[in-house]
C-alpha cells in the first residue's frame, strides 16, 4: 500500500502543503528575519496580531516554543503557572517550563474543556513569602487530550475575571483556536481580548508545514523576540514558511467545518460498538475502549493492516483526527475498516 493510499487519522499535523501553498512559498519575498527584514514574516505577524486584536505577534518554529516563550513572559523563575493536568504545556512539552523557565506548575484535575473557574480561583496563591506565588493561568482551546472540546466563551470570561481579581495573567494555548472559532462562531478578536498572551499554530489543521505565533502586547512581543533568540528559535529567510502560514489563514480556516463534520461521521460510526466518542465538537475523536474487547494497540494494529492509521493514547484510549489531507472518500474507507475491525 502506498503512502497516498493510507488513511492517516493519527493527527492533523500529518498534512502536506497543497500545490497552492507550495506556489505561495516559492514566490515569497524573503529577508533575514533575525534582522527583522523578512517582509513575509513581518506581514504574517501583523496579520495574526490584527486577527486577535493585539498589538504584535512573533513567528516561532513550533507550538511548543510559542507556548514556552509566552510562559516565560508571564511567569518569572521560581514562580507558578496553573493549568489542567492534561494540558499540552505540562504533558507533551518535556518539562520545558521548568527546564528553560524555572517555572513551577500546579494543575487542576484533567477535565478537558469543562473548566470550573471557581476551582481555579481557589488554587491561586497570593504574592508573599510563605508560598510560591501564582503568576499565570493557562488554558487550551481546543483541548487536545480533552477530545477537541471547546471551552465556552462564558467560562473564558469568568476565568478572565478570576485572573483580573487575583492580578495574574491568562495564557491561551490556542494551537487549534481556529477550530473553536469555527465550531462556536466566536470571533478570533473576541478570544484575543480575553488573554494576555496566546500561542496559535499554523501547522495543525491549517495545513502549513511549520509555524506558530505568540500574540500579545508590543512590549511583551519585544521581550518574546529575545526569549526566542535565546532558545535558538531565531530564523533567517523564514518568509518561505510564513508564506505557507499566510496562505493557510486565507484558504484553510473556513473549511475546518468540513473536518468537524467528518469527525462527527467517524464518531457516529464507532458509537454502536460501545466505543465512547460522544462529545465530539471539532476534529478530534477520542475513543474510549474500556468496554470493548479490543484494546487501543490491538485496534490500531488491525486498522493499520487495512490501511487506516490511528493514534494510541493509552492502553484503552485511541484517537482519530480529521484534517486537510482527508476527503469524504477517505472517511468512508476509514468507517468501513473501523466498523469491520470493531465488530470482529
Q: Which residue, 15 or 144, has its beta carbon nearer to ligand PLP?
A: 144
**Distance (Å, whole) CA 86 – CA 107:** 9
Nearest distance from C-beta of residue 61 to ligand PLP, angstroms: 8
Choose, by CB under 6 A, the member of 54, 80, 81, 88 that binds ligand PLP.
88
Stretch that binds ligand PLP, among 61-69, 97-105, 120-128, 150-158 (CB under 6 A): 61-69
Minimum gap (Å) between residue 130 Cβ and ligand PLP: 33
Residue with smallest beta-carbon separation from ligand PLP: 63
Contacts 24+ apart (CB under 8 A), 308-312: 308/6, 308/7, 308/9, 308/333, 308/334, 308/337, 308/338, 309/6, 309/7, 309/8, 309/9, 309/10, 310/9, 310/10, 310/338, 311/9, 311/10, 311/11
Tell me which stretch binds ligand PLP (CB under 6 A): 33-41, 59-67, 102-110, 270-278.
59-67
Say what the alpha-carbon torsion angle 230, 244, 149, 294 is, to the nearest 10 degrees.
Answer: -100
Size of the site for ligand PLP (CB under 6 A): 14
Which 16-55 residues touch ligand PLP, going by CB under 6 A? Answer: none
| Distance of alpha carbon 173 from alpha carbon 197, whole angstroms | 9
- What part of residues 163-182 is at the interface with ligand PLP (CB under 6 A)? 173, 175
Q: Which is nearer to ligand PLP, 170 or 337 (CB)?
A: 170
Out of 136, 201, 248, 249, name the contact with ligand PLP by CB under 6 A. 201
Full DSSP string of 219-261? HHHHHHHHHHHHTT---SSTHHHHHHHHHHHHHSSTTHHHHHH
φ, ψ (nearest 5 deg) of residue 146: -85, 25
Return d(Cα 250, Cα 134) in angstroms, integer. 38
Q: Which stretch binds ligand PLP (CB under 6 A): 198-206, 228-236, 238-246, 250-258?
A: 198-206
Nearer to ligand PLP, 135 or 179 (CB): 179
Instruction: Give the per-residue contact string, 92-131, with ligand PLP (x = CB under 6 A; - = no).
Output: ----------------------------------------
Closer residue to ligand PLP (CB): 40 or 68: 68
**Is residue 144 within the footprint of ligand PLP (CB under 6 A)?**
yes
Q: Name 288's Cβ contacts closer than 8 Å, sequence gap at least 6.
A: 275, 276, 277, 316, 317
Q: Supply the minimum distance, in Å, between the C-beta of residue 342 and ligand PLP.
A: 26
**Cβ atoms of 215 and 197 closer than 8 Å:** yes
Rg (CA), the chain: 20
Minimum CB distance to ligand PLP, residue 175 (Å) = 3
Segment interacting with ligand PLP, rule: CB under 6 A, options 42-50, 56-64, 113-121, 289-297: 56-64
Residues 6+ apart with CB under 8 A from 297: 312, 315
Query: Is the CB of 196 or the CB of 294 nearer to ligand PLP?
Result: 196
Q: Which three cell numbers stand for residue 269?
A: 460510526
In the complex with ligand PLP, which residue's Cβ is closer, 175 or 299?
Answer: 175
All three cell numbers of 235, joined, read 530564523
Task: Compute the distance between CA of residue 189 and CA of residue 205 in angstroms, rounded to an integer.
Answer: 20
Query: What is the smallest separation between the CB atom of 93 and ligand PLP, expressed in angstroms?
Result: 7
Nearer to ligand PLP, 7 or 198 (CB): 198
Cell of 170: 491568562
Catalog residues that contact ligand PLP under the rule CB under 6 A. Answer: 13, 62-64, 67, 88, 140, 144, 173, 175, 201, 203-204, 212
Amino acid at each position: 500500500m502506498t503512502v497516498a493510499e493510507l488513511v492517516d487519522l493519527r493527527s492533523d499535523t500529518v498534512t502536506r502543503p497543497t500545490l497552492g501553498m507550495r506556489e505561495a512559498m516559492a514566490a515569497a519575498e524573503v529577508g533575514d528575519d533575525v534582522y527583522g527584514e523578512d517582509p513575509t514574516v513581518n506581514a504574517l505577524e501583523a496579520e495574526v496580531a490584527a486577527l486577535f486584536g493585539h498589538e504584535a505577534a512573533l513567528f516561532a518554529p513550533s507550538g511548543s516554543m510559542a507556548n514556552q516563550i509566552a510562559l516565560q513572559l508571564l511567569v518569572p523563575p521560581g514562580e507558578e503557572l496553573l493549568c489542567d493536568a492534561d494540558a499540552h504545556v505540562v504533558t507533551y512539552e518535556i518539562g520545558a517550563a521548568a527546564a528553560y523557565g524555572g517555572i513551577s506548575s500546579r494543575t487542576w484535575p484533567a477535565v478537558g474543556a469543562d473548566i470550573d473557574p471557581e476551582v481555579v480561583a481557589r488554587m491561586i496563591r497570593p504574592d508573599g513569602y510563605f508560598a510560591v506565588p501564582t503568576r499565570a493561568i493557562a488554558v487550551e482551546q481546543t483541548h487536545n487530550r480533552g477530545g477537541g472540546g471547546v471551552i465556552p466563551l462564558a467560562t473564558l470570561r469568568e476565568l478572565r475575571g478570576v485572573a483580573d481579581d487575583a492580578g495574574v495573567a491568562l495564557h491561551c494555548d490556542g494551537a487549534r483556536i481556529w477550530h473553536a472559532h469555527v465550531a462556536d462562531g466566536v470571533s478570533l478578536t473576541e478570544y484575543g481580548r480575553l488573554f494576555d498572551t496566546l500561542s496559535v499554530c499554523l501547522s495543525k489543521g491549517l495545513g502549513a508545514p511549520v509555524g506558530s505565533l505568540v500574540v500579545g502586547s508590543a512590549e511583551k512581543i519585544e521581550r518574546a523576540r529575545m526569549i526566542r533568540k535565546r532558545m535558538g528559535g531565531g530564523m533567517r529567510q523564514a518568509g518561505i514558511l510564513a508564506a505557507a502560514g499566510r496562505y493557510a489563514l486565507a484558504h484553510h480556516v473556513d473549511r475546518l467545518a468540513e473536518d468537524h463534520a467528518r469527525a462527527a461521521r467517524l464518531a457516529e460510526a464507532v458509537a454502536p460498538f460501545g466505543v465512547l466518542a460522544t462529545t465530539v465538537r471539532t476534529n478530534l475523536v477520542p475513543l474510549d475502549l474500556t468496554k470493548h474487547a479490543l484494546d487501543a494497540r490491538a485496534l490500531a494494529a488491525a486498522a493499520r493492516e487495512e490501511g487506516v492509521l490511528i493514534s494510541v493514547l493509552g492502553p484503552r484510549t485511541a484517537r482519530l483526527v480529521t484534517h486537510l489531507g482527508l476527503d469524504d472518500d477517505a472517511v468512508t474507507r476509514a468507517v468501513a475498516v473501523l466498523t469491520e475491525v470493531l465488530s470482529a
